[in-house]
């Protein structure tokens, strides 16, 4: 007897049921393709820890102008993406449009904020330099010890867990099958990707396999070498924060970075560490201490909140911090991984671009700078 027991024979098999994998699956199903998503616990990876910031301008990085363009394209399509999801599923995903305040504490922080502001203006991005008094008018919970701030009105946030729940519901109602099993290897036949092997020996055979396994993308046996590595982030969730903050606050606290994102009614997310130490989801005393110390310094009222969750997940890092989108050296295998700090934000643009590639064979212009070969050159 063959060891292959075909669970499915589909047009598209997606390895990974996080935000990226489900977004692609949903869009592919809407285009009439049969789709199976394979994930032992959909949404339990980086999507589960994500704070949900949609903040390409506040997070603009020097030398990352191409990534910024991709992020802005995705932000522009977010409201319609969310509206469609909410309409189709009846589920709310908590899109907040109050903007982002970026605050600083000492002269060095303010010099860094001024440089960031100059860079944003050079790129034609909308960002306003405001005083400590002005930022506290917007966010009265902020400490009076601030030196000044930027206000980025167009940077938003979303409840990443609610977004995942809605995408799962939308994908399934569009006909996507979700197989809750571990993908143990890429099935390769006659020099092309032909499906996914599952724990237990079953195989989902497919015309196209989409790799959306986040930080684990490079580790799936059969996948060609990929420069995707885990970058650990620890994050905290606190309760009873309703009304504390209107929008996202990012802070430079004497050179240290912290962000606070209001979410899901009365929750506040505080993040995040950035640790290059391989896989591992250990929450450390030092990580929690640093996040709480800085968050309380920025918003003293955080000290009164209930700490309900501390968790760590690996972000999928790449050498240039940008995702890997498009075809791979292996025919039949499409890459949608390496979204690093921008997985939530880049969900709509990735879903649309990868679906277009799968359906038509052509990667849309907006995604072309992000193919694997840029990292191989």
Give 23 or 332: the residue with its C-beta nearer to ligand GLY.
Answer: 23
Give 10 or 95: the residue with its C-beta nearer to ligand GLY.
Answer: 95
Is the separation of the CB atoms in 346 and 70 below 8 Å?
Answer: yes
Is the separation of the CB atoms in 287 and 79 below 8 Å?
Answer: no
Q: Quick one: which of 234, 328, 341, 351 contacts ligand GLY (CB under 6 A)?
A: 341
53 touches ligand GLY (CB under 6 A): yes
Give 291 or 334: the residue with its C-beta nearer to ligand GLY.
Answer: 291
d(CA 271, CA 82): 24
d(CA 252, CA 316): 24
Give 198 or 292: the residue with its C-beta nearer to ligand GLY.
Answer: 292
Least CB distance from residue 81 to ligand GLY, whole Å? 18
315 touches ligand GLY (CB under 6 A): yes
272 touches ligand GLY (CB under 6 A): yes
233 touches ligand GLY (CB under 6 A): yes
d(CA 76, CA 69): 11
Least CB distance from residue 272 to ligand GLY, whole Å? 4
236 touches ligand GLY (CB under 6 A): no
Give 258 or 363: the residue with its C-beta nearer to ligand GLY.
Answer: 258
Give 314 or 332: the residue with its C-beta nearer to ligand GLY.
Answer: 314
Is the separation of the CB atoms in 54 and 82 below 8 Å?
Answer: no
Give 182 or 320: the residue with its C-beta nearer to ligand GLY.
Answer: 320
For the window 66-105, what string marks contact with ligand GLY as x by the rule CB under 6 A?
----------------------------------------
Give 25 or 49: the residue with its C-beta nearer to ligand GLY.
Answer: 49
Least CB distance from residue 177 to ligand GLY, whole Å? 30
Is the separation of the CB atoms in 259 and 270 below 8 Å?
Answer: yes
Chain centroid to Cα 94, Å, comes to: 15
Least CB distance from residue 57 to ligand GLY, whole Å? 13
DSSP state of 133: H
Interface size with ligand GLY, residues (CB under 6 A): 7
C-alpha closest to that of 206 among 183, 174, 172, 180: 183
Least CB distance from residue 233 to ligand GLY, whole Å? 5
Sort strands 333-337 and 324-327 into parallel, antiparallel or unpaired: antiparallel
Least CB distance from residue 18 to ligand GLY, whole Å? 14
Least CB distance from residue 261 to ligand GLY, whole Å? 9
C-alpha closest to that of 100 among 156, 141, 140: 156
Chain centroid to Cα 179, Å, comes to: 22
Burial of 78 (0-12, 13-18, 19+ CB in 10 A): buried
Q: Is 139 helix (H, G, I), strand (E, B) or coil?
A: coil
Tokens 């109050």 — which residue?
Answer: 98
Least CB distance from residue 55 to ligand GLY, whole Å? 8
Q: Quick one: which of 104, 148, 230, 271 contacts ligand GLY (CB under 6 A)?
A: 271
51 touches ligand GLY (CB under 6 A): yes
C-alpha closest to that of 56 among 353, 346, 263: 346
Give 130 or 312: the residue with its C-beta nearer to ligand GLY.
Answer: 312
DSSP class per residue in 313-342: EEEEE-TTSS-EEEE-SSTTEEEEE--TT-
d(CA 159, CA 300): 24
Enumerate binding residues for ligand GLY (CB under 6 A).
51, 53, 233, 271-272, 315, 341
């Amino acid at each position: 007897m063959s060891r292959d027991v075909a669970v499915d024979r589909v047009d598209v098999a997606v390895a990974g049921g996080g935000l990226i994998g489900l977004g692609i699956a949903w869009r592919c199903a809407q285009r009439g393709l049969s789709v199976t998503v394979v994930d032992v616990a959909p949404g339990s990876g980086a999507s589960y820890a994500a704070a949900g910031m949609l903040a390409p301008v506040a997070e603009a990085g020097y030398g990352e102008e191409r990534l910024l363009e991709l992020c802005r394209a995705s932000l522009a399509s977010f409201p319609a993406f969310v509206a469609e999801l909410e309409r189709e599923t009846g589920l709310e995903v908590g899109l907040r449009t109050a903007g982002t305040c970026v605050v600083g504490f000492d002269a060095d922080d303010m010099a860094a904020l001024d440089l960031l502001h100059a860079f944003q203006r050079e790129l034609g991005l909308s960002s306003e330099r405001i005083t400590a008094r002005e930022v506290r008018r917007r966010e009265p919970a902020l400490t009076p010890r601030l030196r000044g701030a930027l206000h980025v009105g167009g940077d938003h946030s979303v409840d990443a867990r609610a977004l995942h729940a809605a995408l799962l519901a939308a994908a399934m109602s569009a006909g996507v099958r979700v197989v809750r099993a571990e993908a143990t290897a890429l099935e390769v036949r006659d020099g092309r990707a032909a499906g996914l092997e599952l724990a237990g020996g079953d195989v989902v055979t497919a015309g196209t396999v989409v790799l959306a396994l986040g930080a684990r993308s490079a580790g799936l046996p059969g996948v060609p070498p990929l420069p995707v590595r885990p970058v650990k982030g620890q994050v905290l969730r606190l309760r009873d924060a309703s009304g504390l903050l209107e929008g996202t606050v990012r802070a430079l606290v004497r050179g240290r970075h912290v962000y606070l994102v209001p979410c899901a009614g009365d929750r506040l997310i505080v993040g995040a560490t950035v640790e290059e130490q391989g896989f591992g989801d250990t929450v450390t005393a030092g990580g929690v201490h640093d996040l709480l110390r800085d968050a309380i310094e920025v918003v003293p009222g955080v000290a009164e909140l209930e700490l309900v969750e501390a968790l760590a997940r690996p972000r999928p890092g790449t050498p240039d911090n940008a995702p890997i989108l498009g075809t791979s050296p292996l025919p039949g295998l499409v890459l949608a991984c390496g979204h690093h700090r921008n997985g939530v934000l880049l969900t709509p643009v990735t879903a649309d671009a990868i679906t277009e590639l799968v359906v038509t064979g052509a990667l849309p212009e907006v995604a072309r700078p992000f193919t694997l070969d840029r990292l191989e050159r």
